[in-house]
Amino acid sequence: MLVVMQSHATEEQIREVCKRIESLGLKAHPIPGSIRTAIGITGNKDAVDLGVLESLPGVVECIPVSKPYKLVSRDAKEEDTVLRIPTPSGDVIVGGNHVALVAGPCAVETETQCLAIAERVKKSGARLFRGGAYKPRTSPYSFQGLCEDGLKILAKVRATHGFGIVTEAIDNESLDLVEEYADVIQIGARNMQNFSLLKRAGRAKKPVLLKRGMSATLDEFLMAAEYILSEGNYNVMLCERGVRTFSDFSRNTLDLAVVPAVKKRSHLPILVDPSHGTGKRHKVLPLSRAAVAVGADGLIVEVHHEPEKALSDGMQSILPEEFAALADEVRQIAAVLHRSVN
Amino acid sequence: MLVVMQSHATEEQIREVCKRIESLGLKAHPIPGSIRTAIGITGNKDAVDLGVLESLPGVVECIPVSKPYKLVSRDAKEEDTVLRIPTPSGDVIVGGNHVALVAGPCAVETETQCLAIAERVKKSGARLFRGGAYKPRTSPYSFQGLCEDGLKILAKVRATHGFGIVTEAIDNESLDLVEEYADVIQIGARNMQNFSLLKRAGRAKKPVLLKRGMSATLDEFLMAAEYILSEGNYNVMLCERGVRTFSDFSRNTLDLAVVPAVKKRSHLPILVDPSHGTGKRHKVLPLSRAAVAVGADGLIVEVHHEPEKALSDGMQSILPEEFAALADEVRQIAAVLHRSVN
Amino acid sequence: MLVVMQSHATEEQIREVCKRIESLGLKAHPIPGSIRTAIGITGNKDAVDLGVLESLPGVVECIPVSKPYKLVSRDAKEEDTVLRIPTPSGDVIVGGNHVALVAGPCAVETETQCLAIAERVKKSGARLFRGGAYKPRTSPYSFQGLCEDGLKILAKVRATHGFGIVTEAIDNESLDLVEEYADVIQIGARNMQNFSLLKRAGRAKKPVLLKRGMSATLDEFLMAAEYILSEGNYNVMLCERGVRTFSDFSRNTLDLAVVPAVKKRSHLPILVDPSHGTGKRHKVLPLSRAAVAVGADGLIVEVHHEPEKALSDGMQSILPEEFAALADEVRQIAAVLHRSVN
Amino acid sequence: MLVVMQSHATEEQIREVCKRIESLGLKAHPIPGSIRTAIGITGNKDAVDLGVLESLPGVVECIPVSKPYKLVSRDAKEEDTVLRIPTPSGDVIVGGNHVALVAGPCAVETETQCLAIAERVKKSGARLFRGGAYKPRTSPYSFQGLCEDGLKILAKVRATHGFGIVTEAIDNESLDLVEEYADVIQIGARNMQNFSLLKRAGRAKKPVLLKRGMSATLDEFLMAAEYILSEGNYNVMLCERGVRTFSDFSRNTLDLAVVPAVKKRSHLPILVDPSHGTGKRHKVLPLSRAAVAVGADGLIVEVHHEPEKALSDGMQSILPEEFAALADEVRQIAAVLHRSVN
Q: Looking at the complex, does the CB of residue D20 fall below 8 Å from at least one CB of chain C?
A: yes
Preferred mutation among B35, B238, B289, B330 to probe C, highest tally of C CBs within 10 A = B289
CB atoms within 10 A of CB C73: 18
Contacts of B93 (CB under 8 A, 6+ apart): B82, B83, B84, B85, B100, B342
CB atoms within 10 A of CB A340: 12
Q: Hey, which of B18-32, D3-17, D292-306 has the most confident mean pLDDT?
A: D292-306
Mind listing the pLDDT tens digit for each residue in A94-141? 999 999 999 999 999 999 999 999 999 999 999 999 999 999 998 888
Instruction: Measure in Å the smallest separation between the Cα of A34 and chain C Cα atoms.
Output: 6
User: Which comes out higher in pLDDT, residue D213 or A5?
Assistant: D213
Under an 8 A CB cutoff, do A42 and C31 touch?
Answer: yes
Residue A84 has a pLDDT of 97
pLDDT at B66 over 70: no
Of C4, C7, C65, nearest to A38 by CB-CB distance is C65
Q: Looking at the complex, does the CB of residue D138 fall below 8 Å from at least one CB of chain C?
A: yes
Complex ipTM: 0.89
- Which DSSP letter does residue B187 get? E
Could you tell me which residues are beta bridge partners of residue B102? B128, B300
User: Which comes out higher in pLDDT, residue A23 or B275?
Assistant: B275
Under an 8 A CB cutoff, do A36 and C66 touch?
Answer: yes
Contacts of A252 (CB under 8 A, 6+ apart): A214, A241, A242, A243, A244, A245, A276, A277, A278, A279
Mind listing the pLDDT tens digit for each residue in D162-187? 999 999 999 999 999 999 999 999 99
For the residues C38-66, what does the mean pLDDT come to? 72
Preferred mutation among D171, D173, D178, D227 to probe C, highest tally of C CBs within 10 A = D171
Poorest-confidence range of A27-36, A141-150, B166-175, B199-208?
A: A27-36
Quick one: pLDDT band at residue C65, thresholds 50, 70, 90? low
Instruction: Measure in Å the smallest separation between the Cα of A66 and chain D Cα atoms.
Output: 14
Mind listing the pLDDT tens digit for each residue in B233-251? 999 999 999 999 999 888 8
Task: Please state, in angstroms and rounded to a whole number, the distance separating the CA atoms of residues D211 and D218.
Answer: 12
Mind listing the pLDDT tens digit for each residue in D269-287? 999 999 998 888 899 999 9
Task: Please state, in angstroms and rounded to a whole number, the distance separating the CA atoms of residues B64 and A50.
Answer: 47
Per-window interface: A 92-131 vs B, CB < 8 A: none
Mind listing the pLDDT tens digit for each residue in B195-236? 999 999 999 999 999 999 999 999 999 999 999 999 999 999
Look at residue D176 and give its three-state secondary structure. helix
DSSP string, D42-96: ES--TT--GGGGGGSTTEEEEE--S-S--TTBTTT--SPP-EEE--TT-PEEEBT
pLDDT at D47 over 50: no
Sign of CA dihedral B264, B265, B271, B273: negative
Whether B165 and B158 have beta carbons less than 8 Å apart is answered as yes
H or E stretch covering B21: helix B11-23
Preferred mutation among B55, B106, B236, B275 to probe A, highest tally of A CBs within 10 A = B55
Task: Please state, in angstroms and rounded to a whole number, the distance separating the CA atoms of residues B195 and B228.
Answer: 9
Task: Please state, in angstroms and rounded to a whole number, the distance separating the CA atoms of residues A214 and A225.
Answer: 15
Task: Please state, in angstroms and rounded to a whole number, the distance separating the CA atoms of residues D133 and A90.
Answer: 59
Mind listing the pLDDT tens digit for each residue in A30-83? 877 666 787 877 765 554 566 678 778 888 777 766 677 889 998 888 899 999
Could you tell me which residues are beta bridge partners of residue D164? D128
Residues of A with CB below 8 A from C66's CB?
A: 4, 33, 35-36
Residues of D with CB below 8 A from B6's CB?
A: 75
Q: Looking at the complex, does the CB of residue C336 fall below 8 Å from at least one CB of chain B?
A: yes
pLDDT at A304 over 50: yes
Of A253, A260, A333, nearest to D283 by CB-CB distance is A260
Whether B246 and C215 have beta carbons less than 8 Å apart is answered as yes
User: Which comes out higher in pLDDT, residue B324 or D27?
Assistant: B324
Quick one: pLDDT band at residue B141, thresholds 50, 70, 90? confident
Residue B65 has a pLDDT of 64
Poorest-confidence range of A320-324, B225-229, C56-60, D295-299?
A: C56-60
Task: Please state, in angstroms and rounded to a whole number, the distance separating the CA atoms of residues D337 and D330.
Answer: 11
Residue D44 has a pLDDT of 59
Task: Please state, in angstroms and rounded to a whole number, the distance separating the CA atoms of residues B44 and B46.
Answer: 6
What percentage of chain B carries pLDDT values higher than 70? 95
∠ CA C139-C145-C146 to the nearest 5 degrees? 150
Under an 8 A CB cutoff, do A65 and C32 touch?
Answer: no
For the residues D89-112, what does the mean pLDDT come to? 96
What's the CATH code, domain A2-63?
Answer: 3.30.70.1140
CB atoms within 10 A of CB A224: 29
Task: Please state, in angstroms and rounded to a whole number, the distance separating the CA atoms of residues C299 and C149.
Answer: 26
Decide: residue D111, CB within 10 A, 0-12 exposed, 13-18 middle, 19+ buried.
middle
Mind listing the pLDDT tens digit for each residue in C236-281? 999 999 999 999 888 899 999 999 999 999 999 999 999 999 888 8
Of C217, C257, C287, nearest to B287 by CB-CB distance is C257
Task: Please state, in angstroms and rounded to a whole number, the distance separating the CA atoms of residues D67 and B60.
Answer: 10
Length of chain C: 342
For the residues C128-137, what does the mean pLDDT come to? 96
Task: Please state, in angstroms and rounded to a whole number, the distance separating the CA atoms of residues C245 and C214.
Answer: 9
∠ CA A261-A263-A268 to the nearest 5 degrees? 125
If you average pLDDT over every residue of chain B, what do you get? 91
CATH 3.20.20.70, domain C83-341, yes or no: yes
CATH 3.20.20.70 residue window(s) in chain D: 83-341
Decide: residue C158, CB within 10 A, 0-12 exposed, 13-18 middle, 19+ buried.
buried
DSSP string, D261-281: HHHHHB-S-EEE-HHHHH--H
- Which DSSP letter does residue B197 get? H
Q: Cα D96 vs. chain centroid, distance in angstroms? A: 17
If you average pLDDT over every residue of chain A, what do you get? 91
CATH 3.30.70.1140 residue window(s) in chain C: 2-63
CB atoms within 10 A of CB B123: 12
Under an 8 A CB cutoff, do B261 and C255 touch?
Answer: no
Q: Cα B292 vs. chain centroid, distance in angstroms? A: 16
Of C259, C283, C293, nearest to B257 by CB-CB distance is C283
What residue type is D269 in one-letter code? P
Poorest-confidence range of B156-170, C98-112, D217-231, D300-314?
A: D300-314
HEC readout, A297-338: CEEEEEECCCHHHCCCCHHHCECHHHHHHHHHHHHHHHHHCC
Whether C108 and C313 have beta carbons less than 8 Å apart is answered as no
E-state strands within D97-149 = 98-104, 128-130
What percentage of chain B carries pLDDT values higher than 90? 69
Under an 8 A CB cutoff, do A7 and C75 touch?
Answer: yes
Look at residue A252 and give its three-state secondary structure. coil
What percentage of chain A carries pLDDT values higher than 70? 95
Q: Cα A76 vs. chain centroid, distance in angstroms? A: 19
What percentage of chain D carries pLDDT values higher than 90? 69
Quick one: pLDDT band at residue D342, thresholds 50, 70, 90? confident
Residue A296 has a pLDDT of 98
What residue type is B330 in one-letter code? V
For the residues C323-340, what does the mean pLDDT come to? 98
Whether B27 and B42 have beta carbons less than 8 Å apart is answered as yes
CB atoms within 10 A of CB A18: 17
Quick one: pLDDT band at residue D45, thresholds 50, 70, 90? low
Preferred mutation among A1, A8, A34, A54 to probe C, highest tally of C CBs within 10 A = A34
pLDDT at B25 over 90: no
Under an 8 A CB cutoff, do C29 and A31 touch?
Answer: yes
Q: Looking at the complex, does the CB of residue B286 fall below 8 Å from at least one CB of chain D?
A: no
For the residues D26-44, what does the mean pLDDT come to? 75
Q: Cα C315 vs. chain centroid, distance in angstroms? A: 23
Residue D179 has a pLDDT of 98
